Structure 1
Amino acid sequence: MPARSPLDTERDHLAASRAALSAMRADAESLDLTGVAPNWVSAEVLRGDIAVRIKSLADLAHTPLFFGRLDYLHALDEDDESGNRFYIGRRHVHDADGDPMVIDWRAPVSQPFYRATKRDPQDIALRRRFGYDGGELTAYEDEHLSDLEEAEKSSALLQREIERPRVGPMRDIVATIQPEQDEIVRAPLSGSVCVQGAPGTGKTAVGLHRVAYLLYSHRERLARSGTLVVGPNRSFLRYIEQVLPALGEMEVKQATVDELVAHVEVRGTDPATAAGIKGDARMAEVLRRAVRSGLRMPSEPVVVVRGSRRWRVPVYELEEIVRELQSRDMRYGSAREALPQRIAHAVLVQMERAGEAPDDRVQNAVARTPAVKAAVKECWPQVDPAKLVLRLLSDADFLAEQADGILDPEEQKAVLWAKPPRGVKSARWSPADAVLIDEARDLVERTGSLGHVVLDEAQDLSPMQYRAVGRRCSTGSVTILGDIAQGTTPWATPSWAAALAHLGKPEAAVEELTQGFRVPRKVIAYASRLLPAIAPELSEATSIRDSPGSLDVRTVPAGELAGAVAAACARALEHEGSVGLIAADARVPVLARALADAGLAHLTPGEETSAEARLTLVPASLAKGLEYDYVVLDEPAAVVDGEPDERTGLRRLYVALTRAVSGLAIVHATELPEPLRAPPRSW
């Protein structure tokens, strides 16, 4: 009988691990909850928890259960001779005796898989990486970290995994996390982190893996306080939504900023000038003034009748109470709730001086008397945030009073509605208006805070949007992900220091990722020609990937442009993987017809690609954060011209140029923007 190869042994361990995972799931499914919970509410919660547990134990057939192995020089458990070997995977798997067969990649014992080097082996003798075809283990590759005579070499399996075609939604990078990425992923929960990442550096994946790591390390705490991933649009969130479930995390919520502040129905849009002013941080002070604009000093004393006695709180004492509440850093609504209790307390003081012995019940009863309620209504009226913003944007005199010294007359005129609506429901609210309402709501009543928030594509947020996100993590931490060079809104942040100040996290550490793993070297070098014009302060990104033939720039006659673009898409589809056709928004209908004429079916952003439908037609405004194996870029000049100014247009073009994983074909009839006109340096 021939000796079994190491690969056969590893396959046996994979099969045994899958069987163990199946047994873990079967155990969870067989749990009898009868009589366990004290009441039906607890029973429902427990059933929900078990359902999530069962779902997390699913064995994904085409996803490797483990992707690496660590052999420690010394056993971590002196009583266990096999305690020096650990298989590293997406989740923990144990056998019937509770002994680990696969260690979760987030466990401390797994960290050297990402960090160990020959210079710093971290007690690792051997690191083994596994290669898979679908769910089948096909290869392995060893690094003997304790053998100093063996030359340091790059991993072919690691490179192959990085370059694997992107069909379908975004994948996790758990098998390919690099040391600089791992440091960010495992940063403490107590600290906020801002990641400035060039295209292809994996900043989005790093943020998602950080959420998974924090949930593993602080499960109970974050289960109580909650976690949230905030993305730029729904297409982007659909693209990334499978990453966390693949890592066993089912309960992380995802939302856009617009969804966070959806207190009114948004049916309108603002001109860029108005949106910029509404998004300016100065509007926070305008709203603070507006919320408190209705405060009045009392004009009459409060007289409370109880039985045969009348108790009188004079005007000067009421003024002292109101002024004291005004001076405190309290939410408007909290102060309004405190006011009747303060007035009632003044009455109780008089009662005690008269020899009575009132208790808390008496104070509450006094606070509810008509006289006290009338005084509160006069001095501290209720504020409806939506109605307040409606008045601010409709009433020129009211806006002028609240914005005096903050917004100049031209700015006030820009944000006023030309035709005031009849009410909140009839108003055509814009996204920027909804953010103002959210700010006003927080001034009235504190917004609840989550334990951790991941904010992706953060460079495009306005100061007021940053404040809206910051409110959701005021007592927690945040991971900010973005690239200043990809800021494409008129109010894009000029620096991370400014963004962090608006978020309320000025102390956050800023980490820069410049080593690319996705965009080919030629492509990122070509796109980086735009950096001096759009973000001169940033370092030029590099890439570990040298993909021959990855860049093709073609000039065609204007009348043949649409057909040439369709032909380029057809050529791209000859390769394995996804294809994205990116174009200025205005040119999307023309190109859709050209693709139909060429018999090329296409999807829209956010739809999952498959073997049958691998081509997606992407408006340039939605390209951010997406990636495709092959990208065809239509008419770069049109992408630039589609924006309100040249710098924003060049930033939009930079985004479009950096969506390719394997190859980029540029087809144009109009002259290229000036930074791109010289032939690529490699030609």
Structure 2
Amino acid sequence: MTDDGLEAERAHAAAARDGLERMVEAARHQVEIGQGAGADRYALESLGRLLKSNLKRLAEEPDGPPFFGRLDFSPDAATGDAGHAGRRYYIGRRHVPGGPERPPLVLDWRAPVARAFYQASPGEPQGVALRRRFGWDLSGPAVLTGFEDERLDGGEHHRRSGIVHAEVARPRQGPMRDIVATIQPEQDELVRADLDESICIQGAPGTGKTAVGLHRAAFLLYNHRKRLERSGVLIVGPNPAFLRYIAAVLPALGETDVEQTTLNGLLSRTPVRAEDTEAAALVKHDARMADVLHRALYAGVVAPEETLVVPDGAYRWRISTEELCAIVTDVRSEQVPYGTGRERVRARVVALVQRQAERRGRPVNGAWQRKLGRSAPVSAFLDRVWPRVKPEDLVAALLGDGQGLARAADGVLTTAEQAAIRWNRRRSARSARWTAADAVLVDEAAGLIEPDRGAGHVIVDEAQDLSPMECRVIARRTGRGSMTVLGDLAQGTTPWAARGWTEQLTHLGVPKARIVPLAEGFRVPGAVLALANRVLSALDADVPPGRSMRDDGEVSYRKATVLAEEVVAAARDALARDGAVGVIAADDTIGPLETALRAAGLDPGEPAGEARLSLVPASVAKGLEYDHVIVAEPAGIVTAEPRGANRLYVVLTRAVSRLDIVHAQPLPAPLTT
């Protein structure tokens, strides 16, 4: 690297920043013009949202690096790359045009040609002569400090790039960062998978599966924007802390119009005010409950028992019992949603009446059809044979009526299972004290009655923790779209956590999804992962151990006489070094630890917040990461829940650089070997 070369690259960075500023100004001007446009109110609001969203995307991180890589194509590039022969491209988070009749200053990382930045190698150079990675000082406005070259036409290939390593190991604080500058070839293949393909990423800790999912969302929106603008992209995370942690990734990649929620957010129509017993929750989360609800719903559909007479002015139209039975039987066989079936019965009754009317010369039109379909005799007939049902009423009636539950669950649930979920007295939907599992059942009932409008693509993280019935909640949001399923069977901590992906993917509605393992990663250093793999070997999880591309990391043990005092001391030592610090402990010990930290003048923030020190309940640690993790009393984490050893595995692998294990009790066996 020469000084002249570095100065030339800095000049290009300045030009790219100028280009980005022009884009921001142009977007701001569009907003001003759009606000004054002559249009109806609704069109104006839509235009305003579009323009302001575009402005927000462009204005994010104005002082960040305008690019992170460069591709120089060989003058004699192969035929497939002939269009790029002799060209040079800078790769960044967003496209920056160079001006009229000039090449772009920066190409968006999602552009087709940018794929070579991640995939080219000496064996398959893809026409690339040189790949350059840039290093930046990000302590303030980004300053270009150096670059690292690979001569792919000369056989050089830096599998372990120093710049990539420095970026991954850079101290972190606050929300998750994008990995666009450090995506590995195997990750890039998944990011660029086709929209119509569903994939399942079984990823060991630190392999970047969450980041891959988020970057895939950004890639799909870039390449299929028109298609996904209509249906949208939905991201489902395990808890609000996780959503706060990942919230900045997509905006940094130029995408802001993506719905991010939790499973509870999808179930918000049902207020949760009570808790189930463990036995009741296990039954309600079982896939068999879908059959029970289906039976209960259609138990109300009965065969017509009398002729239908429909007055129509001077006319009286009659439909025989046989004809009505045929209608109901035919619609039942079509297996459409319950509400759709009710309307089909109505439409076919009207069609029979219409044929009679036309034979008698009675003039008919659309208004006549609508009036007849809503007439009192037709509505009363529908209420008898195909009654209107609300989801909450269906679930309340099922759980509150022992006889009705017994009929619907006959041969599906045992007597003991029925007793576990049956309410001790009847309640209306309005007075019911719903549990979290009841909310899942209400959503299932709603899906049976009226279909959901599915998203074009759904990304679900920590999918191994979903119950079969929770999987069905997400499957209904996918509709005919595709899905990216992210998880790690070894990190399953719920009572119903998946033991394998095949059955879980079937419940999620994507049984043919491609299952791709990721075992090698940058995030967790070798020393930390080696310890975590000892815990993994004691788990009932058929997954390969994780491999770290980093041979660094620190692990220390601190024996405590008084746990809280030693945790405070460990936190002080950790805060004397760079980076974010997470104190993770069993949920029931968080209160005393918080009191001790605050008494010592250390004010911990919430998980995934902006504070340097966070106090994190073990139950919400999944998906988060900290430079320095202090695990308080591992034995308490293991004994706090049935799958506590899996929880400990999760907790240990939150550390990106350093890990302190503070304990007053004896350590779990895997940590002592």
What interval of TM-score do these two structures reach, taking the shorter chain for normalisation?
Answer: over 0.9
Contact kept, 8 Å, 2:74 with 2:85, in 1: the verdict is no
2:506 to 501, 510, 515: 501
Q: Taking structure 1 as reference, are residues 82 and 194 closer, same or farther at Cα in structure 2, changes over 3 Å only?
A: closer
Residue type of the alignment partner of 1:112: A
| TM alignment of 1:481-500, pairs within 5 A | 481-500=486-505
Structure 1 counterpart of 2:249, which letter? V
Return the alpha-carbon distance in structure 2 between the equivalents of residues 530 and 29 of structure 1: 54
Q: Secondary structure of the equivalent of 1:454? A: strand
Distance across 1 between alignment mates of 2:337 and 2:348: 16
Mapping for residues 455-470 of structure 1, pairs under 5 Å: 455-470=460-475
What is the distance in 2 between the residues matched to 1:318 and 1:244? 54
Secondary structure of the structure 2 residue equivalent to 1:566? helix
> Counterparts of 1:14 and 1:75 in 2: how far apart (Å)?
28
Aligned residues of 2:499 and 2:541 also touching (Cα < 8 A) = no
The answer to whether the 8 A contact 2:81-2:126 is kept is no
For the residues of structure 2 that align with 1:82 and 1:600, how far apart are their CA atoms?
58
Letter of the 1:674 partner, please give it: A
Does the aligned pair in 1 maintain the 2:529–2:547 contact within 8 Å? yes
Identify the match of residue 143 of structure 2 among 127, 132, 136. Answer: 136
Q: Retained in 2: the 8 A contact 1:234–1:606?
A: no
Q: Which one of 86, 90, 102 corresponds to residue 93 of structure 2?
A: 90
Task: Classify the secondary structure of the residue corresponding to 2:133.
Answer: strand
Paired amino acid for 2:443: D
**Aligned twin of 1:309:** 315
Equivalenced residue count is: 664
Native 8 Å contact 2:244 2:608 kept in 1: yes
Q: What is the TM-score when the length of structure 1 is the normalising length?
A: 0.94
After superposition, the Cα gap between the structure-2 partners of 1:620 and 1:289, relative to the gap in structure 1 and judged at 3 Å, is same
**Alignment counterpart, residue 627 of structure 1, candidates 625, 628, 633:** 625
The residue identity in structure 2 corresponding to 1:213 is F
Equivalent position of 1:639 in the other structure: 637
Q: Is 1:513 matched up with 2:512?
A: no
Aligned residue for 1:198? 204
Using the TM superposition, give the Cα deviation of residue 357 of structure 1 relative to its aligned residue in structure 2, in angstroms.
5.8
Alpha-carbon offset, residue 265 of structure 1: 1.1
Establish whether residue 107 from structure 1 lines up as the match of residue 105 from structure 2.
no
Q: Do 1:484 and 1:535's aligned partners in 2 also have CA atoms closer than 8 Å?
A: no
Measured in 2, the distance between the counterparts of 1:323 and 1:95 equals 66
Q: How big is the shift at 1:28?
A: 1.8
TM-score (norm: length of structure 2): 0.95
Bigger CA drift: 584-593 or 594-603? 594-603
In 1: Cα distance, 2:215 partner to 2:231 partner: 19
Given that residues 88 and 104 in structure 1 are in contact (C-alpha distance below 8 angstroms), is that contact kept between their aligned partners in structure 2?
Answer: yes
Q: Distance in 2 between matches of 1:419 and 1:367?
A: 39
Asked if 1:425 is matched to 2:430, the reply is yes
**Residue-by-residue CA offset, 1:334-353 (whole Å, 9 max, x unaligned):** 11112122112122222344
- Relative distance call for 1:566 and 1:35 in structure 2 (3 A) is closer
CA distance in 2, matches of 1:151, 1:491: 45
Q: Which amino acid aligns with 2:330?
A: E
How much does 1:671 deviate?
1.6
Preserved contact between residue 341 and residue 364 of structure 1 (Cα < 8 Å): no
The alpha-carbon deviation at position 296 of structure 1 amounts to 1.9
Which secondary structure does the structure 1 equivalent of 2:34 belong to?
coil
> C-alpha deviations, 1:533-591, integer Å up to 9, x for none?
3244110111011225x11123333xx22211211111111210000000011111121
2:177 maps to 171
Residue 152 of structure 1 and its aligned partner are, at CA, apart by 5.1
Q: Which residue of 1 aligns with 2:18?
A: 19
Specify whether residues 450 and 34 from structure 1 end up closer, same or farther in structure 2 by C-alpha distance, changes over 3 A only: closer
Superposition deviation, residue 660 in structure 1: 0.1
Q: C-alpha distance in 2, partners of 1:656/1:675? A: 14
Q: How far did residue 47 of structure 1 move?
A: 1.7
Is 1:580 the counterpart of 2:591? The answer is no
Q: Give, in whole Å, the separation in 2 of the partners of 1:635 and 1:208.
A: 33
Q: CA deviation at 1:62?
A: 4.4
Q: Which moved more, 1:395-404 or 1:628-637?
A: 395-404
SS in 2 for 1:229: strand
Structure 2 stretches lacking a partner, 5+ long:
none
Counterparts in 2 of 1:39 and 1:389: CA distance versus 1, 3 Å: same
Counterpart CA distance in 2 for 1:121 and 1:343 is 68
Shift of 1:268: 1.7
In the TM superposition, what is the alpha-carbon distance from 1:675 to its structure 2 partner?
A: 2.3
Shift of 1:82: 9.3
Letter in 2 for 1:470: A
1:601 aligns with 2:596: no
| 1:424 CA displacement | 2.5
How is 1:37-116 mapped onto 2 (pairs within 5 angstroms)? 38-58=39-59, 60-74=61-75, 84-97=87-100, 99-116=103-120
Equivalent residue, structure 2, for 1:10: 9
Shift of 1:153: 5.8
2:152 counterpart (142, 145, 150): 145
Runs of 5+ consecutive residues of structure 1 not aligned to the other structure: 679-683
Question: Residue 130 of structure 1 aligns to which amino acid in structure 2?
Answer: F
SS at match of 2:256: coil
1:95 & 1:652 partners in 2: Cα distance? 51
Equivalent of residue 336 in structure 1, options 339, 342, 357? 342
Percent identity reads: 49
SS at match of 1:472: helix
RMSD: 2.0
1:310: Cα distance to partner?
A: 2.0
Instruction: Quote the residue 2:284 is aligned against.
Output: 278
